[in-house]
Copies of this chain bind each other. A is one copy, B any other.
Amino acid sequence: MSPDEFRRHGHAVVDWIADYWSSLDQRAVLPAGPPGAVAARLPPRPPERGEGFDRILADLDSVIAPGLTHWQHPGYFGYFPANTSGPSVLGDLVSAGLGVQGMLWATGPACTEVETVMLDWLAELLDLPARFRSTGSGGGVIQDSASSATLVAVLVALHRTGGGRWREHGVERRHRIYTSTQGHSSIEKAARIAGLGDDAVRAVEVDPDTLAMEPAALRAAIEADRAAGLVPTAVVATIGTTSTTAVDPLPAIGEICREYGVWLHVDAAYAGSAAICPELRYTHAGLEYADSYCFDPHKWLLTGFDCDAFWVADRAELIEALSILPEYLRNAATESGAVIDYRDWQVPLGRRFRSLKLWFVLRWYGAEGLRAHVRAGVALADRFAGWVRADERFEVVAPHPFSLVCFRLRTRAGAGDSRAPSSTDANANGTDADANGTGAELDRANAELLDRVNGTGRVYLTHTRVGGRHTLRLAVGSPYTREEHVAEAWRLITDAATASQVGRS
């Protein structure tokens, strides 16, 4: 494809995306087809001769778009958001066009240096401790995801705790990793990949109301493991757990980590973006104890996937853990010690110029524009939680400091026979279910409600379990979501609850 052909087809693709974004509200959030519907529309083998671009573009409408879960849809409330935005897409476009592979400083000085500066900019925006910045002992790097950041943190912790033997001689299976019962599945996956096995992960109990880690339980687990001859190696604390956005108490956890010499990794994948707002930064209190920290601009900061921002307090230790230097990668800049080679900060060797999209986003929106985006999400979630609380058929089942609300039907039969709300609607144990039917029946009612609501095609919510019970999650986050969309979601939810009650009466 010549540069001029690219110009012509590129304009058409840009227009297609602009039209796609403009039409999102008219689309069903979820695809209709069964498994295999998309594959069935593709030929079984590649074409022998090239095709015209118009045919390719046409298939975006006929094959691709109907087969998508539309993550940018204003009615998308599933999982956590995976935001993108115009400037992010254009930063990625420039990156793709340049086709730079920045494994070493020498293979893309701008790719490396813009990344260093952007991670410092983010550190400034979130007011991260000075030692995380490249101007201090640490520094930041873009990982593909918080999963990979957790893996890297675990590896460096093993290197530190292994007394210099881990790199050459491998891992001892006595190492233990701690996270709360609400910690992300990627922690178990990291332990498995690192050769520790799932059993090496200790699930520490949480406070039943806040679902935040109990420091006393962490201390007890560490003490018990030490007594058994095991090696407490890393704690993964979470700011904004995946299930309910619980915030682990970093100051108390950090003290324990310091006392026992345990690596503290803080996973703020979703909620880290909130720290750009001073009034939400209290959720990051105690971060000065951390050895590493990450959050995902690709979740809530208008930067497209993949862009996890990961910092360490001691970059020398990270590089020592992961560096391998074969002859064909040697170069004068690396040997000088004056540059960063980000390949040593991650699992893969190669890397894209992902900092361009961050640069575009931070400049286009500015700090105040990004704060407005986060605040809008928090305000909408707060509004939604208020509606839930005001309807006695429902309960909010966990604190909602950010833009996720976890809620559920309180009674199977709905409003007609519901009881008064419990004294705390953050009660995660929900043992009152049995008063109105078995927990299993309530679970079914909530699952049916979710299916019914998602079946409208207007919104998409997902679920979790809180206190052992089926719970609905509404996560605000698409840049196109406005109050009318959250209000529509609530209307669909209450309609479904009412219909469900009528159906049974």
Contact status A113-B39, CB under 8 Å: yes
Across-interface contacts of A125 in B (CB, < 8 A): 46
The answer on a CB contact under 8 Å between B109 and A60 is: no
Q: Which residues of B contact A352 (CB under 8 A)?
A: 305-306
Task: Judge whether B197 and A166 touch: CB under 8 Å.
Answer: yes
Partner of A364 from B50, B92, B193 at Cβ < 8 Å: B50
On whether the beta carbons of A31 and B110 are closer than 8 Å, the reply is yes
Report which of B110, B167, B188, B348 forms a contact with A192, defined as CB distance below 8 A. B167
**A171–B258 alpha-carbon span in the complex (Å):** 28
In angstroms, Cα B37 to Cα A347, docked, is 27
Which residues from chain B contact A145 at a C-beta distance below 8 Å? Answer: 348-350
Selected from B116, B242, B359, the residue in CB contact (under 8 A) with A328 is B242
At the interface, yes or no: A14 with Cβ under 8 Å from chain B?
yes
Residue contact A117 to B39, C-beta cutoff 8 Å: yes
Chain A, interface size category, equals 35 or more
Determine whether the beta carbon of B49 is less than 8 Å from that of A366. yes
Are A305 and B84 in contact, with the CB atoms below 8 A? Answer: no
**CB-CB < 8 A to A110: which residues of B?**
31, 38, 63-68
A11 at the interface (CB under 8 A from B): yes
**Residue with the greatest number of chain B CB neighbours at <10 A, chosen from A36, A67, A147, A349:** A349
User: Is there an interface contact between A14 and B7, defined as CB atoms closer than 8 Å?
Assistant: yes
- What CA separation (Å) do A108 and B326 show in the bound complex? 39
Q: Does A87 contact B (CB under 8 A)?
A: yes
Nearest-Cβ distance from residue A101 to partner chain B, whole angstroms: 4
Contact with B along A84-109 (1 / 0, CB 8 A): 11111110111011111100011111
Rounded to whole Å, the gap between the CB of A179 and the closest CB of chain B is: 12
In angstroms, how far is the closest chain B Cβ from the Cβ of A198? 5
Residue of B whose beta carbon sits closest to that of A187: B324
**A333 close to chain B: CB less than 8 A:** yes
- Measured in the bound complex, the distance between the Cα atoms of B114 and A38 in whole Å is 7
Contact in complex: A69, B107 (CB < 8 Å) = yes
| Other-chain contact of A464, B111, B322, B328 (Cβ < 8 Å) | B328
Instruction: Report if A281 contacts B (CB, 8 A).
Output: no
Stretch from A16-24, A220-228, A231-239, A419-427 contacting the other chain:
A16-24
Q: Hey, which chain B residues are within 8 Å of A338, CB to CB? A: 35-36
| A196 CA / B5 CA spacing, docked (Å) | 50
Does residue A173 face the partner (Cβ distance < 8 Å to B)?
A: yes
A96 and B100 contact, Cβ closer than 8 Å, known pairs A106-B69, A170-B199: no
Besides the known contacts A2-B86, A11-B11, 10 further A-B residue pairs in the complex with CB atoms under 8 A apart = A6-B86, A50-B363, A50-B369, A56-B87, A82-B100, A99-B305, A185-B324, A193-B193, A327-B465, A328-B463
A-B contact pairs, 8 of them (CB 8 A): A39-B113, A56-B363, A60-B94, A64-B356, A68-B98, A99-B305, A170-B199, A331-B462
